[in-house]
């Protein structure tokens, strides 16, 4: 069976957050017009993903999880976060949760963060350590995992 890629989990999280907001709203935490504050993390997450994708293309290395990287990208957004694409996804999801305003979307944000970390971040970082050794270990000491 082919492993699902992070965008599938990300899109499933968005759909789940919206559905649960309407089906099981539980409590409205953020009221109108304050929900528009969610646009800030949403747009920030989009920009973060675009900048990270651009960096991968610039250095001609893979963006796909578990594919062997040819270059350890450490500049640009990768100087702030070792996983800016996952951080970007989480910011987008958090922004959507704020815009929806109810409790259940925030539960989805937390669960998705746990899932992405466990299924992708931890194994990818092990792989990068195997490929790049001390260079990755030094990078890991300098730069935070998320933000």
Contacts of 119 (CB under 8 A, 6+ apart): 9
pLDDT of residue 136: 96
Burial of 63 (0-12, 13-18, 19+ CB in 10 A): middle
Kindly tell me the sign of the dihedral angle through the C-alpha atoms of 60, 51, 11, 116: positive
Confidence (pTM)? 0.93
Contacts of 105 (CB under 8 A, 6+ apart): 17, 18, 20, 21, 96, 97
Q: Rounded CA gap, 140 and 86, in Å?
A: 16
% pLDDT > 90, the chain: 82
Condensed to tens digits (0 to 9), the pLDDT of residues 39-58 reads 999 999 999 999 999 999 99
> Residue 4: pLDDT above 90?
no
SS3 133: coil
> Residue 1: pLDDT above 80?
no
State the CB neighbour count (10 A cutoff) for residue 2: 4
pLDDT of residue 28: 86
Condensed to tens digits (0 to 9), the pLDDT of residues 63-105 reads 888 888 899 999 999 999 999 999 999 999 999 999 999 999 9
pLDDT of residue 2: 58
Average pLDDT of the segment spanning 104-131: 96
> Residue 37: pLDDT above 80?
yes
With beta carbons less than 8 A apart as the criterion, state whether 35 and 71 touch: no
Q: Which two tokens stand for residue 110?
A: 């937390």
């Amino acid at each position: 069976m082919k492993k699902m890629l992070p965008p599938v989990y990300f899109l499933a999280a968005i759909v789940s957050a919206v559905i649960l907001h309407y089906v099981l709203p539980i409590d409205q935490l953020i009221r109108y017009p304050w929900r528009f504050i969610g646009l800030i993390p949403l747009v920030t997450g989009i920009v973060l993903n675009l900048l990270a994708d651009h960096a991968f293309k610039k250095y001609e290395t893979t963006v796909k999880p578990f594919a062997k990287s040819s270059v350890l990208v450490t500049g640009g957004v990768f100087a702030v976060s070792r996983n800016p694409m996952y951080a970007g996804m989480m910011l987008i999801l958090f922004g959507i949760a704020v815009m929806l305003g109810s409790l259940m979307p925030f539960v989805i944000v937390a669960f998705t963060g746990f899932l992405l970390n466990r299924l992708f971040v931890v194994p990818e970082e092990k792989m990068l350590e195997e490929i790049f050794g001390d260079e990755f270990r030094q990078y890991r000491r300098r730069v935070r995992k998320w933000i």
